[in-house]
Amino acid sequence: MSIIVVGSINMDVVARTATHPMAGQTVLGNQLRFIAGGKGSNQAIAAARAGGDVRLVGKLGQDAFGKTLEAFLHQEALNLDDLTFSPNAPTGTAIIVVDEHGENTIVVIPGANHDLHPAHLSHLPIHPGDFVLAQFEIPLETIHALFTLARSRGANTVLNTAPAMPCSRELLEQVDYWVLNEVELALYGGETVPPHDHDALTALALRTRVQHAQTMVVTLGAEGVLCVPAESEQAVFIPAHRVQAVDTTGAGDCFVGAFVTALRQAFPLESALRFANAAAALSVQTEGASLSMPTRQAIEAFLHG
């Protein structure tokens, strides 16, 4: 396989409201939907729809959500040979509130995703030149073992450190492409708030990366993306496309999946960033995470339209 995504699979319980509730406040919603999600699933679907050859490795619970998600994933162009079921834990769930501006808040309950252990990885068919992608909704020890295995076999590693949490330097040293947003960059860089100008963001990215051969990709939401390539001290900035956002849920996952597909298909780095930016711009115009991931045809039409 060309792209191996090891990560979470969740059922997203999405409530739409006019405004987000403040602490202690109750607000009325106007819609409730159950949508396939989880960073692993989202990024795998985004990569596959963007034209990648993708294997998804993850765990579900033996419950109604698990059965529904399994059926949904089988409709996508994914290799699911390593989709397994936890004997005890429920399927991962995310509680998502989306306001009238398309902004969201999310609470994730990991469930079966935390049953994905290093022992499940040794048999994976990882080959030189493959891209191996993970996120922080599965145990950190599993990611460390995965990346150690991947690099020993000559594969490229991509880590999306979301949701942000403390991790070892040893894990980060196994990462070829580190993708994070500006808030996560501030956390890992030891700052209380993210810088707001590109020079300061670049300086923080340079201080934060753990090796010179690591590419830092900092997503900036509606502003675009800033990237410090491996072996470089200079940043590349790609502005975002101006679109009307309906729901930003999954936009970051869409960017990551499309970016990895472009890299695997030997796009130059800047072209891969532009491709992923376009995919993310399309995704925010559709409600839901996995449902909003655009096809390769749609991305190319958007870029050349």
Q: Give residue-wise pLDDT tens across range 209-253.
A: 999 999 999 999 999 999 999 999 999 999 999 998 888 878 999
Whether 82 is a known active-site residue: answer: no
- The pLDDT of residue 1 is 58
- The pLDDT of residue 196 is 84
> Would you say residue 102 lies in a domain?
no
What CATH number is given to the structural domain containing 136? 3.40.1190.20
> Would you say residue 105 lies in a domain?
no
> Would you say residue 200 lies in a domain?
yes
> Would you say residue 27 lies in a domain?
no
Give the separation between CA 52 and CA 39, rounded to whole angstroms.
17
Domain count within the chain: 1
> Would you say residue 26 lies in a domain?
no
> Would you say residue 63 lies in a domain?
yes
Domain of 272 in residue numbering reads as 3-9+38-90+111-304
> Would you say residue 64 lies in a domain?
yes
- The pLDDT of residue 204 is 97
Active-site choice (115, 130, 176, 253): 253
Contacts of 196 (CB under 8 A, 6+ apart): none
Contacts of 60 (CB under 8 A, 6+ apart): 9, 66, 69, 70, 83, 84, 85, 86, 91, 112
Beta strand 131-135 pairing with 92-98: unpaired
> Would you say residue 142 lies in a domain?
yes
- The pLDDT of residue 150 is 98
Q: Which residues of the chain have pLDDT under 70?
A: 1
Give the separation between CA 74 and CA 55, rounded to whole angstroms.
12
- This prediction has a pTM of 0.93
